[in-house]
Amino acid sequence: MTNFPSDFLWGSATSSYQIEGAHDKDGKGPSIWDAYCKIPGKILNDDHGDIAIDHYHKYKEDVALLKQQGFTAYRFSIAWTRILPNGKGEVNEKGIQFYNDLIDELLANNIQPWVTLYHWDLPLALQEEEDGWLNPKISYYFEQYATVCFDRFGDRVKHWITLNEPWVVAILGYGQGVFAPGHISNSEPYLAAHHLLIAHAKAVNVYKSYFKKQQGTIGITNNCDWREPIDNQPKNIEAAQRALLFFLGWFADPIYLGDYPQVMKDRLGNRLPEFSELEKSLLKDSSDFFGLNHYTTMYAAEQDENAVETSAYGNGGLSEDQDVQISQDPNWDLTDFNWAVVPWGCKKLLEWIADRYDNPPIFITENGCAYHDKPSADGQVHDERRIQFYKSYLEACDEAIKNGVNLKGYFAWSMFDNFEWASGYSQRFGINYIDYDTLERIPKDSAKWFTKTIKEHQERHTLKDKVH
């Protein structure tokens, strides 16, 4: 039986580009995702987030849905280019006003705002003119942007996240080229990651130095999937640990232990940048909590040159640097993203974090699943698989807490149907309902997958109906 602490935080999460829309309204500048989505063939069905679910204009309705679902916290991200259209320079007051209105609406409904400063939507001007996260100056621009946000919103926002999943920015954006800005390289990911970490440290330093009176907390959110040794052979146990260090330790070790994992230094040589002593001091202890996004688990083994990779998801880093082979158990249930449902992996990862990093306060800032949740003939969403997913992962979280892990909160991904990056609108994360108003708000030319569902059920439901 689960028994979460009375002060355990329950929330849901989104990101700006995935839901806001209004991509060129009220002074907002273009981001790298605005540009990347316009390149033919980069996004499934050539979908884009120009309108998405139009949260920019419908935020009051969306906050009402949050309240209706009983959430006490909402994690959302700020679009950098809505605040600073060119990434630097003059502040866009209409963008400030939008987030002020959203924050005030949340607080009026007794929902805590948890604000992420960067969820992958880098200002396009900084990419084109400054080489994005490959330029050391990017940490200065991020520091200035963060300062504006702390100054304008910090009187009401008491929980900040600097970066969401810097691993994704580095590996998918600068290594594998499947996310914006679309670079393919075996060295750029380490440079981009280095600058992301320094940017985080500088933003935290500003917050701690000049905004103490706001009495808030600030941290970073990293993503990681559990890596279970495929058997008890020492080489495979070591491979699983190496995979975790290349995945999570890459970003967490500098913050909690003061530098990159030794295994990365040994294997990467001069492709892994070095921190100065000042940078190390800024990074060390620069997160008030451990933000974790977790979705799945893989088996790990020492790389076999003759083996065939059984998962397209990736092994947590550049494979040629890790020498780790990953695989799935064929008996595991899979989501529509082909991500394995393995609740015990969540528990093991939480315990690994607690052991390696001296049991910091942990918030699961994303966890969820993608399933085809088309209503049945009775108009209801009989969402047994998603319900079972959440039940099993929350039971795993409860077990971790009972084992001493300092887990303080849980955010379900995602609160709303959204633009799912390179997968466009073809798959959906969701909680336990389908929101017909939300579906209708997605532009039909960017939501081909939804069209049939809308047509089949509009006769039975008004646009304001919510099916639970």
pLDDT at res. 377: 82
Average the pLDDT over 43-51 and give the result: 96
Q: Is the dihedral of CA 32, 33, 35, 39 positive or negative?
A: positive
**CATH code, 374:** 3.20.20.80
pLDDT at res. 311: 42
**Active-site residue, 459 included:** no
Residue 3: inside a domain, yes or no? Answer: no
Question: Of 274, 286, 280, 275, which Cα lies nearest the Cα of 220?
Answer: 286
- Residues at the binding site are 18, 119, 164, 295, 413, 420-421
Boundaries of domain holding 397: 9-467
- Residues at the binding site for substrate are 18, 119, 164, 295, 413, 420-421
Average the pLDDT over 403-408 and give the result: 98
pLDDT at 424 over 90: yes
| 373 pLDDT tier (thresholds 50, 70, 90) | confident
Give yes or no for a contact between 120 and 33, defined as CB atoms under 8 angstroms apart: yes
Catalytic residue among 188, 279, 302, 366: 366
Please count the other Cβ atoms lying within 10 Å of the Cβ belonging to residue 452. 10
Strand 297-302 and strand 324-327: the pairing is antiparallel
User: 5 or 316: which carries more pLDDT confidence?
Assistant: 5
Amino acid letter, 214: Q
pLDDT at 320 over 80: yes
pLDDT at 12 over 60: yes
Average the pLDDT over 294-316 and give the result: 73
Residue 2: inside a domain, yes or no? Answer: no
| 453 pLDDT tier (thresholds 50, 70, 90) | very low
pLDDT at res. 381: 79
Average the pLDDT over 13-37 and give the result: 98
Listed in sequence order, the residues at least 6 apart from 220 whose beta carbon sits closer than 8 Å to its beta carbon are 161, 162, 163, 166, 200, 251, 255, 286, 287, 291
- Dump pLDDT digits (tens) for 218-247: 999 999 999 999 999 999 999 999 999 999
pLDDT at res. 344: 98
**Active-site residue, 366 included:** yes
Domain count, the chain: 1
pLDDT at res. 196: 99
Residue 1: inside a domain, yes or no? Answer: no
pLDDT at res. 315: 55
The CA dihedral of 295, 22, 130, 250, to the nearest 10 degrees, is -10
| 306 pLDDT tier (thresholds 50, 70, 90) | low
Average the pLDDT over 110-121 and give the result: 98
Residue 4: inside a domain, yes or no? Answer: no
pLDDT at res. 451: 29
Residue 8 to residue 408: CA distance in whole angstroms: 5
> Hey, which residues does 292 pair with through a beta bridge?
222, 364
pLDDT at res. 296: 98
Average the pLDDT over 111-126 and give the result: 98
Average the pLDDT over 149-157 and give the result: 98
Residue 135 to residue 137: CA distance in whole angstroms: 5
pLDDT at res. 305: 72
Average the pLDDT over 455-460 and give the result: 31
pLDDT at 467 over 70: no
pLDDT at 128 over 80: yes
Between 127-136, 172-181, 261-270, 367-376, the lowest mean confidence (pLDDT) is in 367-376
pLDDT at res. 278: 98
Residue 281: inside a domain, yes or no? Answer: yes
pLDDT at res. 271: 96
pTM of full prediction above 0.85:
yes
pLDDT at 36 over 80: yes
Catalytic residue among 20, 130, 143, 165: 165
Query: Average model confidence (pLDDT) for the chain?
Result: 90
Give yes or no for a contact between 457 and 466, defined as CB atoms under 8 angstroms apart: no
pLDDT at 440 over 50: no
